[in-house]
Amino acid sequence: MLDFIQKRMQKSMQKINKKMSINEEDILEVLREVKLALLEADVNLEVVKTFTKQVKEKALDSQIIGKLNQQQTVLKIFKDELVNILGKKTCEVTIKNTPTKIMMVGLQGSGKTTTAAKLAVYFKKRGICKNPLLVADDIYRPAAREQLEQLAKQTQIDYFTEPENDAIKIAKDSVAIAQDNKNDLVIIDTAGRLAIDENLMTELKEIKRFTRPDYVFLVVDAMSGQDVINTARKFHEDLGLDGTIITKLDSDARGGAALSITHLLNVPITFIGVGEKLTGLEVFHPDRMAERILGMGDVLSLIEKAAEEVDEKMMKKIGYKMLSGKFDLNDLMNSLAQIKKLGKMKSILKMIPGMADKVNDEKIEEAERKFEIYTYLINSMTALEKKNPKLLKNASRKQRILAGSGRSAREFNMLVTDFERMAKQMREVANGNLKLKNGLNIED
């Protein structure tokens, strides 16, 4: 999601993180890059200007320059300002009336119908409502009503429409039906157009006047260009929006224009659509989104922990065994397993500033391949052989292991060579630099 902004932002942030101390010039340089990244992600110019101005003011504050933990402070300023742009508040939906009414509006194809069904599923699943009613009120497109009916059936959610082409009557009747039927939430899916037109707006205003919705949500496609801002402005002027829902954030859309609406119109993003399936809906959290974009947060601590374990604990132990001549085949497997572990986390690691270049695909693939082959071979060895690899020189032992593991003599030799090479390297280190041993600070 939002891959594009993410990559660019993280690259810029990385520069700050690499520096021992940050001066004014560094901040200005990163700010220039971030500005470009945001503009290329199609974030509205006015929004970008506000963002850079705020960050600049705060980051250039003499309080920061020359102080400890500058990186964190600067990163926090970027994050706070990003949160400001994405909207500090979210709009929480609660059942405040029976029934509570949500009106879905937006251009054609933005995802209204899908999102209406997603919302019903979401609220019901979390117990926010008990018995939602989906109302098909798009009377213009021939299959629009059937589309919602299908989704409602599929999810066993109540559904209402009328065959006559009177959108205002359908909306009005739906509220009465909901009262009779004890539906505590009514979600009205209205018609869209390719662009705004007055007839549509008049109809929507009438629907709003007769149904008095508790929430009017504008559904916006993340792939929209800058024109979506004017569209949203018109919807907001005519209908008074309570929130937007940005759909298709799972696509490679840059999303910047849709994300700019919040700041420009002061309308919060409530949910985001992240998939075609009905479970592809998430509550929008501005701070989490900002952290994700900047590459901060949970993932970072997870990686830090993993890297720590891989590098420090296990490697120290293996390193110690190597240095003291106790390194055996079990340790070889352990070190391969560590590299393999990194491979599994490759995709996460790549999201982190500074980590992408540390993950070497070829090395990981090689380790994965060897790990598999060596596992077969080592499993066919006796405990004594594993502890004392010299025994592998014995031809009858070799034949027994080959037969048992089903691996080739070439693979067997590769394992022995690998092991000897590592053991030799370690002996050299041990002889040439005994300080390292002390430096490892090992308690065994």
Q: Which residues bind ligand GDP (CB under 6 A)?
A: 106, 108-114, 192, 219, 247-248, 250-251, 273-276, 280
- Residue 35 binding result from ligand GDP, Mg ion, none, given CB thresholds of 5 to 8 Å by partner type: none
115 part of the interface to Mg ion, by CB under 5 A: no
Note whether 118 and 281 are within 8 A (CB): yes
Long-range contacts of 153-156 (CB under 8 A, 24+ apart): 154/278, 155/117, 155/120, 155/121, 155/278
Listed ranges 113-121, 230-238, 254-262, 321-329: which one lies at the site for Mg ion (CB under 5 A): 113-121
- Residue 70 binding result from Mg ion, ligand GDP, none, given CB thresholds of 5 to 8 Å by partner type: none
Distance CA 70, CA 63 (A): 10
Nearest to 190 by CA among 102, 283, 297: 102
Give the distance from CA 252 to its chain's centroid.
Answer: 13
434 is in an annotated binding site: no
- Residue 247 binding result from Mg ion, ligand GDP, none, given CB thresholds of 5 to 8 Å by partner type: ligand GDP
190 is in an annotated binding site: yes
Q: Which is nearer to Mg ion, 112 or 118 (CB)?
A: 112
426 CB neighbour count, 10 Å cutoff: 18
112 is in an annotated binding site: yes
Note whether 400 and 410 are within 8 A (CB): no
- Residue 106 binding result from Mg ion, ligand GDP, none, given CB thresholds of 5 to 8 Å by partner type: ligand GDP
Listed ranges 107-115, 208-216, 227-235, 244-252: which one lies at the site for Mg ion (CB under 5 A): 107-115
Q: Which is nearer to ligand GDP, 107 or 392 (CB)?
A: 107
Alpha carbon separation from 443 to 321, 373, 413, 437 (Å, rounded) = 12, 32, 34, 11
- Residue 114 binding result from Mg ion, ligand GDP, none, given CB thresholds of 5 to 8 Å by partner type: ligand GDP
347 is in an annotated binding site: no
Q: Which is nearer to Mg ion, 134 or 377 (CB)?
A: 134
109 is in an annotated binding site: yes
256 is in an annotated binding site: no
In whole angstroms, the minimum distance from the beta carbon of 190 to ligand GDP comes to 9
Minimal CB distance to ligand GDP: which residue? 273
277 is in an annotated binding site: no
In whole angstroms, the minimum distance from the beta carbon of 63 to ligand GDP comes to 42
Q: Which is nearer to ligand GDP, 92 or 276 (CB)?
A: 276
10 part of the interface to Mg ion, by CB under 5 A: no
Q: How many residues bind Mg ion (CB under 5 A)?
A: 2
| Site of tokens 């292991």 | 401
Q: Which is nearer to Mg ion, 29 or 149 (CB)?
A: 149
Residue 339: exposure state from Cβ atoms within 10 A (0-12, 13-18, ≥19): middle
Long-range contacts of 181-184 (CB under 8 A, 24+ apart): 181/131, 181/133, 182/131, 183/99, 183/131, 183/132, 183/133, 183/158, 184/95, 184/98, 184/99, 184/100, 184/129, 184/130, 184/131, 184/132
377 is in an annotated binding site: no
Long-range contacts of 178-183 (CB under 8 A, 24+ apart): 178/99, 178/133, 179/98, 179/99, 181/131, 181/133, 182/131, 183/99, 183/131, 183/132, 183/133, 183/158
In whole angstroms, the minimum distance from the beta carbon of 255 to ligand GDP comes to 12
Q: Which is nearer to ligand GDP, 48 or 204 (CB)?
A: 204
19 CB neighbour count, 10 Å cutoff: 13
Q: Is the dihedral of CA 336, 358, 295, 276 positive or negative?
A: negative
- Residue 311 binding result from Mg ion, ligand GDP, none, given CB thresholds of 5 to 8 Å by partner type: none
Q: Which is nearer to ligand GDP, 114 or 335 (CB)?
A: 114
113 part of the interface to Mg ion, by CB under 5 A: yes
Note whether 31 and 56 are within 8 A (CB): yes
* Residue 47, token pair as written in the block: 């929004």
189 is in an annotated binding site: yes
In whole angstroms, the minimum distance from the beta carbon of 280 to ligand GDP comes to 5
In whole angstroms, the minimum distance from the beta carbon of 75 to Mg ion comes to 41
In whole angstroms, the minimum distance from the beta carbon of 279 to ligand GDP comes to 11
Q: Which is nearer to ligand GDP, 238 or 385 (CB)?
A: 238
Q: Which is nearer to Mg ion, 189 or 385 (CB)?
A: 189
250 is in an annotated binding site: yes
Residue 376: exposure state from Cβ atoms within 10 A (0-12, 13-18, ≥19): middle
300: left (phi over 0), alpha (psi -120 to 50) or beta: alpha
Residue type, 74: V
Listed ranges 106-114, 252-260, 263-271, 297-305: which one lies at the site for Mg ion (CB under 5 A): 106-114
Angle (deg, nearest 10), helices 329-344 and 409-432: 100
Sequence ranges of the binding site for GTP: 106-113, 189-193, 247-250
Q: Site residues (CB under 5 A) for Mg ion? A: 112-113
Going by the annotation, the residues of the binding site are 106-113, 189-193, 247-250
